[in-house]
Amino acid sequence: GGVGKTTLAVAVYNSIAGHFEASCFLENVRETSNKKGLQHLQSILLSKTVGEKKIKLTNWREGIPIIKHKLKQKKVLLILDDVDEHKHLQAIIGSPDWFGCGSRVIITTRNEHLLALHNVKITYKVRELNEKHALQLLTQKAFELEKEVDSSYNDILNRALIYASGLPLA
């Protein structure tokens, strides 16, 4: 956690969403699913992609055929953020034939096993920042500048970098 998966997903979404007929960013899938149920996430997906506002699903299995029917002809961009259970993937993206040609699904997760279990073919592992980039980000955010900082701050900056271990959120 804290390596920047969601931040990267937001940046990708914002830069390419306009190339799709429909797009949806489902943030905090784990938390939302636990609090409101998978059918709530399915309703958000249908609302954002096809304008279905009045769908009231009683359970997530009921939403599967509706998603398949409504989205199989659409070129969709869908981002699922913070997925931690296989049933999230089963309920929201099912299989590639649920969406039209050219569709893209991006999944952020801490559990690579889920991706393998769902037969995801292409993965990208977000890595921690190296020392140079970590220092650049820290000085940019802490001092609101991109040039070198006064050398009297070097000790505290180095301790902060060690503590954060390359995690941008830290």
pLDDT over 80 at 21, yes or no = yes
* Main-chain phi, psi angles of 85, to 5 degrees: -135, 145
The 3 state secondary structure assigned to the chain is CCCCHHHHHHHHHHHHHHHCCEEEEECCHHHHHHHHCHHHHHHHHHHHHHCCCCCCCCCHHHHHHHHHHHHCCCCEEEEEEEECCHHHHHHHCCCHHHCCCCCEEEEEECCHHHHHHCCCCCCCCCCCCCHHHHHHHHHHHHHCCCCCCCHHHHHHHHHHHHHHCCCCCC
Class of domain 5-118: alpha beta
Return the pLDDT at 145. 63
Domain with CATH 3.40.50.300 in the chain: 5-118
Two tokens, residue 82: 């913070």
Tokens describing residue 128: 């921690």
Is the pLDDT confidence value at 38 over 90? yes
36 or 148, which is more confident: 36
| Model confidence pLDDT, tens digit, residues 118-156 | 988 888 888 877 787 777 777 777 777 656 777 777 788
Q: Which residue has the higher pLDDT, 155 or 109?
A: 109
CA–CA separation, 83 vs 111, rounded Å? 8
With cut-offs at 50, 70 and 90, classify the pLDDT of residue 161. confident
pLDDT 10s digits, 54-103: 788 888 999 999 999 999 999 999 999 999 999 999 999 998 889 999 99
Q: Is 123 left (phi over 0), alpha (psi -120 to 50) or beta?
A: beta
> What is the C-alpha to C-alpha distance for residues 142 and 47, in angstroms, rounded to an integer?
39
